[in-house]
């Protein structure tokens, strides 16, 4: 049986899950186009993005951070009392993810992309987002390590069969991507394992949107 929550918790959980799914899918489509060379890069996972690629890839990624954090807060509030500790841990790791990746994406969108577009990259080499070989790429990976940890703990909140079991599966699977994310900078082919995020994360957020949609509500505002 699904838990009962306030209408506000239900709405916030539903919309944050829906936006998380939307922004993740928008990023995935842009990433596939980037790897295919459609956005002006040389193609493949080791190529640096053009200014257009940066905008199309990182704009949805920037908004995804806030949507995911709000989603984890909403999940924490539907946890059974004995499992709220898992929700609190998930929120803590989600916060670290938002801060780290948000810093990377905002710098890329507001500082790096305009200079690449204008051909003025002298002196900003430290801030270029070069796959597997840049400071900000490592920071971004660290952020996604925290996202994986967040979903790993959030998975412990959902018990039972049916939709909660499916949510638990996707969240746990997303958490298990951690080694592929953390170690790909040492062994680049691991990025293909990490690319399963394109299945596990949208799967989890779409299922969570359905979960919040189906929740019972209390009479509280």
Hey, where are the domains in the chain?
4-217
Going by pLDDT thresholds of 50, 70 and 90, the confidence category of residue 116 is very high
Give 86: exposed, middle or buried? Use CB within 10 Å, 0-12, 13-18, 19+: buried
Q: Half-sphere exposure of 200 toward its Cβ, with a 13 Å CA cutoff?
A: 21
DSSP state of 217: E
Element (H, E) at 65: helix 51-78
Map residue 150 onto helix, strand or coil.
helix
Average pLDDT value for the chain: 93
Q: Would you say 74 and 212 are in contact if contact means Cβ atoms under 8 Å apart?
A: yes
Count of other CB atoms within 10 angstroms of residue 220? 10
CA distance 114 to 9: 39
Element (H, E) at 4: strand 4-5
Question: Is the per-residue pLDDT at 172 higher than 60?
Answer: yes
Count of other CB atoms within 10 angstroms of residue 185? 16
How large is the average pLDDT for residues 23-29? Answer: 97
Question: Is the per-residue pLDDT at 221 higher than 50?
Answer: no
CA distance 23 to 26: 5
Q: What is the phi-psi region of residue 159: left when phi exceeds 0, alpha when psi lies from -120 to 50, beta otherwise?
A: beta
What does pTM read for this prediction?
0.92
Between 32-41, 79-88, 189-198, 210-219, the lowest mean confidence (pLDDT) is in 210-219
CA distance 113 to 25: 22
CA distance 177 to 170: 11
Closest CA to 46 of 55, 38, 59, 37: 37
């Amino acid at each position: 049986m699904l838990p009962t929550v306030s209408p506000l918790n239900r709405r916030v959980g539903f919309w944050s899950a829906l936006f998380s799914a939307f922004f993740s899918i928008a990023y995935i489509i842009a990433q596939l186009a980037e790897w295919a060379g459609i956005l002006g890069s040389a193609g493949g996972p080791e190529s640096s993005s053009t200014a257009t690629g940066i905008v199309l890839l990182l704009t949805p990624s920037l908004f995804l951070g806030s949507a995911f954090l709000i989603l984890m807060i909403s999940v924490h509030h539907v946890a059974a009392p004995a499992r709220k500790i898992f929700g609190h841990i998930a929120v803590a790791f989600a916060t670290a993810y938002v801060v780290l990746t948000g810093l990377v994406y905002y710098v890329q969108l507001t500082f790096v992309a305009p200079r690449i577009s204008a051909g003025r990259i002298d002196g900003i080499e430290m801030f270029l987002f070069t796959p597997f070989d840049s400071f900000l790429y490592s920071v971004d990976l660290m952020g996604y390590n925290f996202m994986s940890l967040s979903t790993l703990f959030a998975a412990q909140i959902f018990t039972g069969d049916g939709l909660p079991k499916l949510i638990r599966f996707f969240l746990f699977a997303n958490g298990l991507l951690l080694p592929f994310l953390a170690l790909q900078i040492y062994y680049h082919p691991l990025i293909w394992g990490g690319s399963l995020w394109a299945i596990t994360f949208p799967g989890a957020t779409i299922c969570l949107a359905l979960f919040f949609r189906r929740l019972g509500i209390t009479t509280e505002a």
